[in-house]
Structure 1
Amino acid sequence: MLPDLDALLAAAHVVSLPMRVRFRSITTREAVVLQGPHGWGEFSPFVEYDDAEAARWLAAGVESAWSPPVSRVRDAVPVNATVPAVPAADVAAVLERFDGCRTAKVKVAEPGQSLADDVVRVGEVRRLLGPTGRVRVDANGAWSVDDALRAAQALAPYDLEYLEQPCATLDELGELRRALARSGVDVLVAADESIRKADDPLKVAAAGSADVVVVKVAPLGGVRAALEVAEACGLPVVVSSALDTSVGIAAGVALAAALPDLPYACGLGTVGLFERDVASTPLRPRAGELSAAAASAVHPDQLADVLAGPERQRWWRDRLARCHAVLSARS
């Protein structure tokens, strides 16, 4: 059910969370957390997204706060560390924030950096995790097919688990998979943006463009919608966050705990990238896992220290109202 706009605005708290390191070209993460009858939800589409895309994020937040949770099949969810595009000398400090995580996702193809920078960073992650750790890289669609093939060849000595969204389009992902096979580079291709930003997220599987799908709750419109996409794709699933607060992470954990199969560690440990969080006990991994029973315990009084300023409050409330209108029209 979609609450009316006045109720939604009354339930909304606009927060601004400083980052420990630059991530996705931002140093402060803004979000709206919503208090509803079933707990808390999050509305935090990135600022460049239009209202049609952002409305799915509002649907996810409303589901979390106004609907009962889905049933789960596991009590704990394995989690990966996330390493931003930092210098190799800073990798150890980043990994220390992810207690017990034996899988790491490394950001690559950062604007202004080179493949050599990526190789050094990934090499340091592999050195610190040792031969039994798992390492995956995420290019956010920044490479051409030729660039992705060169990167895969350069990174092959570090035994990558998969390349996440190495190229932007489905055709390019499919072409890359064929090029990797011809070149004898044994690495999987995972689709992220091709799932969460697509008009039809099932095209990835139909086109044979990926070996793994990365599923995020907010961009797909909620836990139930994400479960439907995961089932219909018929490919192995990794649940990841969209740089969420603990409120959004709780929804990601709910999705991961409900999936019939979960062969990979999930990208749900990103709260450690924030200096502050909205929850009294932030949802951070312990011994490489997040408890499926963990809840994002938020009290409105504790939000005072992280509330956004008046101008950003107005901006987000106006955006929430526009996205509410989009959802109302769809329903």
Structure 2
Amino acid sequence: MIRPLPPLQEILDTARVVALPMATRFRGVDVREAVVFEGPEGWTEFSPFGEYPDPEAATWLAAALDFGWTRSPAPLRTQIPVNATVPAVDAASVATVLARFDGCRTAKVKVAEPGQRLADDIARVRAVREVLGVEGRVRIDANGGWNVDEAEHAIHALAEFDLEYAEQPCATVEELAELRRRVKYMGIPIAADESVRKAEDPLAVARAGAADIIVVKAQPLGGVRRALEIIAEAGLPAVVSSALDTSIGLSMGAALAAAMPTLDFDCGLGTASLFTADVTATPLTPLDGRILVGRVIPDAASLAAWEAPADRRAWWLARLERCHAELERRANA
């Protein structure tokens, strides 16, 4: 967290609240809301999901302030390879989704969606493999939706599609460790996302030997520098992913990926392709499977066109004020 904390009014002076429509419903979200504002280093974003409590959301604000008020670490690369993201759509819609991700040869496929069956997951992953061909890379993400037995059964059923890895198949560190032991013979790595970004101790999963890979997201972890520290301390390969950000938030993720000593996997930073609008007329969408590293500047027309309704603006700014107070409390503790 940057010190001293920027005054609240300095943040509010440029704050704009946007509501961006999505091309496909994603984890229950049809419209993604976010606050964007400008600091001395450029535009930044605060967009914790609506159900997150203030103490958790305050860490997202710390990340936004770090990105807007502190110069990012020196980049080691100018472009970031990214994956396509396939929501829990029916198999017939897979090709249409993938067509939005120009040149991406890796796809992350959502599975274990509430209300769906394993048969739906199998059909979706099969369709992705058919579109990408044998040389494409396919990873699955269950968002902790299975217990250990369900995860073992599902991974076995999906193994024929040559999975790159399985992301957060179970909810807890203990479950991940047990599952990793059970499926080790299949050669399918286990990746941890929620067990890193939503944990009081983001390094617990590494110490427990519960994952082969960690998934890191700049906003939920408190910013680019904090995420780099976690990667270094975990000692595991890392995949940088988005939190369904606007292009401004994605540029924060790109800054993180650009500063990593090694980049072993395509990053989940192509998610601007899931939107039908953005804060800029030139969204940070994949081109030949990559996005560029650099600051994103919103344009006035886009900010005006996608401005959130007055009641939602008031809700977000009140939330921002509460989270700012929480960061002040932490700084003075």
CA distance in 1, matches of 2:277, 2:126: 30
Give the structure 2 partner of residue 64 of structure 1.
Answer: 67
CA distance in 1, matches of 2:36, 2:307: 11
Structure 2 counterpart of 1:187, one-letter code: I
Give the structure 2 partner of residue 122 of structure 1.
Answer: 125
Extract unaligned runs of 5+ from structure 2: none
Which stretch of the first structure deviates more once superposed, 69-78 or 245-254? 69-78
Which SS does the other structure have where 1:190 is aligned?
A: strand
Give the structure 2 partner of residue 265 of structure 1.
Answer: 266
CA distance in 2, matches of 1:321, 1:280: 29
Q: 1:91-120, CA deviations, whole angstroms, 9 ceiling, x for partnerless residues? A: 001111111000000000111110000000
Which SS does the other structure have where 1:22 is aligned?
A: strand
CA distance in 2, matches of 1:186, 1:36: 45
Give the structure 2 partner of residue 187 of structure 1.
Answer: 188
Give the structure 1 partner of residue 201 of structure 2.
Answer: 200
Which SS does the other structure have where 1:99 is aligned?
A: coil
CA distance in 1, matches of 2:26, 2:299: 27
CA contact (8 A) 1:80 1:103 kept: yes
TM-score (norm 1): 0.98
Q: 1:228-281, CA deviations, whole angstroms, 9 ceiling, x for partnerless residues? A: 011110000000000000000000000001000111000000001111000221
CA distance in 1, matches of 2:114, 2:177: 24
Give the structure 2 partner of residue 20 of structure 1.
Answer: 23
CA distance in 2, matches of 1:33, 1:174: 38
CA contact (8 A) 2:278 2:302 kept: no
CA distance in 2, matches of 1:66, 1:282: 23
TM-score (norm 2): 0.97
1:117-196 mapped onto 2 (5 Å cutoff)? 117-181=120-184, 184-196=185-197
CA distance in 1, matches of 2:128, 2:246: 25
Which stretch of the first structure deviates more once superposed, 5-14 or 23-32? 5-14
Structure 1 residue 248 corresponds to structure 2 residue 240:
no
Q: 1:270-309, CA deviations, whole angstroms, 9 ceiling, x for partnerless residues? A: 00111100022100111111122x4312134530001100
Give the structure 2 partner of residue 312 of structure 1.
Answer: 312
CA contact (8 A) 1:78 1:265 kept: yes
Task: Give the C-alpha shift of residue 35 in structure 1.
Answer: 1.1
Which SS does the other structure have where 2:169 is aligned?
A: coil
CA contact (8 A) 1:280 1:297 kept: no
Q: 1:174-227, CA deviations, whole angstroms, 9 ceiling, x for partnerless residues? A: 00011113xx32200000000000111011110000000000000001001111
1:92-107 mapped onto 2 (5 Å cutoff)? 92-107=95-110
Structure 1 counterpart of 2:310, one-letter code: P
Aligned length: 328
Q: 1:45-97, CA deviations, whole angstroms, 9 ceiling, x for partnerless residues? A: 00010000000110111111111121011121110000000011110011111
CA contact (8 A) 1:79 1:101 kept: yes
Please point out which of 76, 79, 95 is paired with 2:79. 76
RMSD between aligned residues: 0.9
CA distance in 1, matches of 2:181, 2:86: 28
Structure 2 counterpart of 1:63, one-letter code: D
CA contact (8 A) 1:81 1:103 kept: yes
Structure 1 residue 229 corresponds to structure 2 residue 234:
no
Extract unaligned runs of 5+ from structure 1: none
CA distance in 1, matches of 2:77, 2:17: 32
Q: 1:299-327, CA deviations, whole angstroms, 9 ceiling, x for partnerless residues? A: 34530001100110110011000000000
Which SS does the other structure have where 2:58 is aligned?
A: helix
CA contact (8 A) 1:142 1:167 kept: yes
Structure 1 residue 239 corresponds to structure 2 residue 240:
yes
CA distance in 2, matches of 1:265, 1:205: 21
CA distance in 1, matches of 2:301, 2:233: 42
CA distance in 2, matches of 1:179, 1:89: 33
Give the structure 2 partner of residue 324 of structure 1.
Answer: 324
Structure 1 residue 288 corresponds to structure 2 residue 289:
yes
CA contact (8 A) 1:32 1:42 kept: yes
Which SS does the other structure have where 2:186 is aligned?
A: coil
Which SS does the other structure have where 2:21 is aligned?
A: strand
